[in-house]
Amino acid sequence: DYRGKRSRGENEDVLNGYRGIVRAVDAERRVLVEWREKTADGHRDVAEWVDADYIAQGGLSLGYAITGHKSQGLSVQEALVYGPGAQANALYTMMSRDKKESHLFLPLSVYESDADRARGGAALTEQEQLAR
């Protein structure tokens, strides 16, 4: 869960799952990332410069992912939700985070058995896929 390499700077531990904000990019192509850590007294803001070599090796990437429980109370422009295994109340929480639109992903392979596929044949249109 810890990052594999240290970057130049104060070398704060950056844990997998931290939500950070890129605050600056300097002339050496380093990126200043800031995040909030919980402490016994509340929280503290921490920042770390991540060097270009570390980024080029895949140590830092842009991405947005969060669990449904962690998303409660947040608002996002667009929510992409993976539905399999979600209970109705959790699915409601995940699907109601958007300001603009939500997309629910329900892989056919999870919900349709081999017997279902043999009986119905291949879905020829998007409408047939949705009907299943």
The ranges assigned to domains in the chain are 1-63, 76-131
pTM of the predicted model, to two decimals?
Answer: 0.47
pLDDT, tens digit, for every residue of 75-131?
Answer: 888 888 989 988 999 999 999 998 999 999 888 888 888 888 888 888 888 888 878
Query: In angstroms, what CA-CA distances link 116 with 1, 64, 94, 121, 126?
Result: 40, 35, 29, 8, 17
